[in-house]
Structure 1
Amino acid sequence: MKTSTDELLAFVTVIDSGSITAAAEKLQQTVSGVSRALTRLEKKLDTALVRRTTRRLHLTEEGELFLGRARAILAAMEEAEESVARRRERPSGRLRVDAATPFMLHCIAPQMKAFSALFPEIRLELTSNERIVDLLEQKVDIAIRIGALQDSTLHARALGSSKLRVLASPAYLAEYGEPRSVDALRGHRLIGFTAPDLLNRWPLRDGADLLKIEPAMAASSGETIRQLVLSHWGIACLSDFMTSADVRDGRLITILDSLLVDVRQPVSAVYYQSATLAGRVQCFLDFIATRLRF
């Protein structure tokens, strides 16, 4: 590359400041030094970027085009330097993370010993809300949300997706029998959610739509529903992130697998970006993204 960053910086600063003298003051350089940098840049590009008059500077057409590219290059370099600096620094201070109880218990809490070993100066505060929280009102730095995102004002990072399955305990199935069809399923005790009603549409076909169940018992928390299934009360539809260990260890059994529609719940981290929180937020997101297994 023929052009140096010093020359790009001199050019952009001259335009932003309105004069070579003001640019020199801002850059803490001599007027002649800034002027020479601008002249070198124009010579290398073999074109005039600025028309100089006694009163002011005017960008040429080529200068207008080059200015946008120069700004982008300088911004990219600054971002690259900051990313390296963040790795060198040791993030510290309070970081409040919010997630629904099941995700907190099954996905976040088991990883926090390893996180604290890597970042001992970050003071974690973990909160659990079953409903969507206002990050500013609750002073939350990162919220983990399950499902489609609604708030476009937040920054978001996709963490993956978790499949929905229909499950029951071995003891329940031994007592009441395993349903082999959607019609047979309706004759069982089904456990659903109090809200939102969308969670009571199970990934099974009922005509052209997904099956809409009428819960014999409902709960607001997926973890409560999981405990009801584990205690042999009935059948539920839950996400892999909270039941995969139960299935692996034989505490729960998936049913109607051959009829299951592949429905997955997206998992996202949402947050407000700010200079003071960027380091803590970034290191937590990078860490948890590598640890999640759905």
Structure 2
Amino acid sequence: MAVFLQVARTGSFSAAGRAVGMTPSSAAKLVTRVEGRLGARLVERSTRRLRLTAEGELYRQRAEELLEELDALDAGIAGGAAAPKGLVRVNASVPFGRHCLLPLLPDFAAAFPQMRLELSLTDAVVDFYEARCDVAFRVGGLADSGLAAVRLGLARRRVVAAPSYLAARGTPKTAADLESHDCLGFAFRRAAAVWPLKSGGRLVDREIRVRFAVGDGETARELAVMGLGLARLAEFHVAADLAAGRLVSVLDDVVVDAEEIHALHFGRRNLPSRIRIFLDFMTPRLRAALAAGNGPR
């Protein structure tokens, strides 16, 4: 299992062999033997890089858990309460990662000096399995994925603009006023040029005029601070800017939408200790921050 995991991590029999002190051919034969015993191909072999099959990905996940349990058993018998250790792969959107997760990392690193994190921040929707995530933080509705979901709270949306923009273009008072304003939108394929706003006592999708379309929320926030238009962003994302006066919230009486935030992970009964430790640390702190209406500072 240890050799197979090295192959999965490095994508190479040569690199895996070096990591465990074996020749490349020995590492390849070992994996082939495992495949023969299981009756399933675990690795797709090519001239460029090895790639796990769906069965190989399943075997990798379970092998990591089993070896971690063995390490914990050895440590418990040999040394009593050993310090928690292991790698946790985390995926989150750029705004949530920068404004909510990153501020908590110094305390996490101090509390668990032997724990390691691999942090991937992107506003593009990534496949949990393809990206090999251990924990993914998601804002918005959840697909039926079979993953376990830990609810963290709500992200209320705000429409914000810089004081310089409002001084030059005026402050919108109603949803209809957006027709004469520049708005900041997103360049994702799934993104539509509409904002859900309250009108006539119900929530409707109001079409907006997108002047600048960007690939992530943090860029939208920065353009808003520069005075380039109105942006619709999560409250935790702009809390510091609102407090400092860099941004002003507008249309508060018609912007009433909010999205749920969850931490997703594989929903197995025996959660690996490295993932449980990470979630036990982050969950109460993120819940408290979101309940207060802003990210950790």
TM-score by length of 2: 0.64
Report if the CA contact (8 A) 1:205-1:211 is conserved.
no
Report if the CA contact (8 A) 1:165-1:203 is conserved.
no
Partner of 1:266: 260
Summarize the Cα distance change of 1:196–1:269 in structure 2 as closer, same or farther, 3 Å threshold: farther
Which consecutive residues of structure 1, in runs of 5 or more, have no partner in the other structure?
1-84
Amino acid at match of 1:233: L
Tell me the SS of whatever aligns to 2:109: helix
Q: Name the count of aligned residue pairs.
A: 208
Of the three residues 161, 177, 188, the one matched with 2:181 is: 188
Deviation at 1:151, TM superposition (A): 3.4
Deviation at 1:196, TM superposition (A): 5.5
Amino acid at match of 1:130: D
Matched, 1:123 2:142: no
Amino acid at match of 2:273: G
Amino acid at match of 2:90: V
Report if the CA contact (8 A) 1:155-1:272 is conserved.
yes
CA distance in 2, matches of 1:91, 1:159: 24
Deviation at 1:132, TM superposition (A): 2.4
Deviation at 1:152, TM superposition (A): 2.7
CA distance in 2, matches of 1:257, 1:124: 38
* Superposition pairs of residues 75-224 of structure 1, within 5 angstroms: 90-195=83-188, 197=190, 200-206=193-199, 209-224=204-219
Partner of 2:239: 244
* Superposition pairs of residues 61-80 of structure 1, within 5 angstroms: none
Report if the CA contact (8 A) 2:124-2:188 is conserved.
no
Q: Percent of counterpart pairs with the same letter? A: 37
Summarize the Cα distance change of 1:285–1:196 in structure 2 as closer, same or farther, 3 Å threshold: farther
Partner of 1:54: none
CA distance in 1, matches of 2:193, 2:261: 19
Per-residue CA deviations over 1:141-167 (Å, capped at 9, x if unaligned) read 111111111033111111111101110
From the CA coordinates, give the structure whose radius of gyration is larger: 1
Report if the CA contact (8 A) 1:247-1:254 is conserved.
yes
Q: Indicate the RMSD between aligned Cα atoms, in angstroms.
A: 2.3
129-138 or 202-211, which moves further after superposition?
202-211
CA distance in 2, matches of 1:144, 1:234: 28
Deviation at 1:136, TM superposition (A): 2.8
Tell me the SS of whatever aligns to 1:186: helix
Tell me the SS of whatever aligns to 1:103: helix
Tell me the SS of whatever aligns to 2:127: coil
Partner of 2:45: none
Deviation at 1:116, TM superposition (A): 0.8
Matched, 1:287 2:281: yes
